[in-house]
Structure 1
Amino acid sequence: MTRGTILPLSGHASKPSRPGASTPDVRRRMQRTPQRDTPPERALRSRLHRMGLRFWVDRRPDSSVRSRADIVFPRARVAVFVDGCFWHGCPEHATWPKANGAWWKAKIEANRERDRRSTAALRHAGWRVVRVWEHEDPTRVAKRIANIVRKRVTG
């Protein structure tokens, strides 16, 4: 290998450059989309907290994984990801943009592949991964998570 050779990061394909927003309205909407503390995350956290559960928010569950879980129960080793229907390609509610459609399809597919890799890596490290869609009922999801956490803590 010659000096100055640039190698791609392992496991990552080179990304095509991001196209500009199709309209100013789309640009504003995308800029306003939060990366954390979304309404579905806050609703779920509120219900979990009311059930007496305590957790970390927006943390890397394990140093071996780069992704950050939305909710982390370190003692139970449970990592919760609240996936947005658009960004993670929900089979029920995802919509594919017409403008720059090929780029968005590749972007969302890459997000889904990253989710699969993160889930596999965390499971390999002994974590229980819970992935929920933003459209799921937060009360039902909170009950499911509470059961998982309590079973893992009490053994």
Structure 2
Amino acid sequence: MLGKAYDTQVCSIARSLELVGERWSLLILRDALFARVTRFGDFQHNLGIASNVLSSRLDSFVASGIMERDDSADYRLSEKGHALAVALVALTEWGDAWASPIEPPILYRHTVCGAGAVHAVASCTTCGIVPAEEIAVRIGPGMPPEYLAGRRGGSRAT
């Protein structure tokens, strides 16, 4: 979990990091989403993660509703967990472009047609796909008025 410094953040990114931002979390979710790993021992073998760390992460995923534990002690992604797929695709594409010295090691494909490449994109409900430099923020309906009252210059919203 994030430290107490994030308690005052009114930000969906900070809230998301509270659930999936710890070391190993996204790799566990990657294996669950795309390699269909469900068993504790398989996560541990694939990742080389310490059992106490893995246990802690899986327990936190269950507690937050990202995963469910079934009667056979398998960990299954919930709808909330499956919804993270697009975020992981986006991180993969960013890593392929900016953090990898080689060609992409994996490619995402649409399971229904089997041929279509899958990409994470930002899109406008009016214009369609938009480049990152054309994305801006605006205060949304969930922003507490007391948070805005203390704001001086510049937006604190994410």
* TM-score range for the pair, normalised by the shorter chain length: under 0.3
The TM-score, its normalising length taken from structure 1, stands at: 0.23
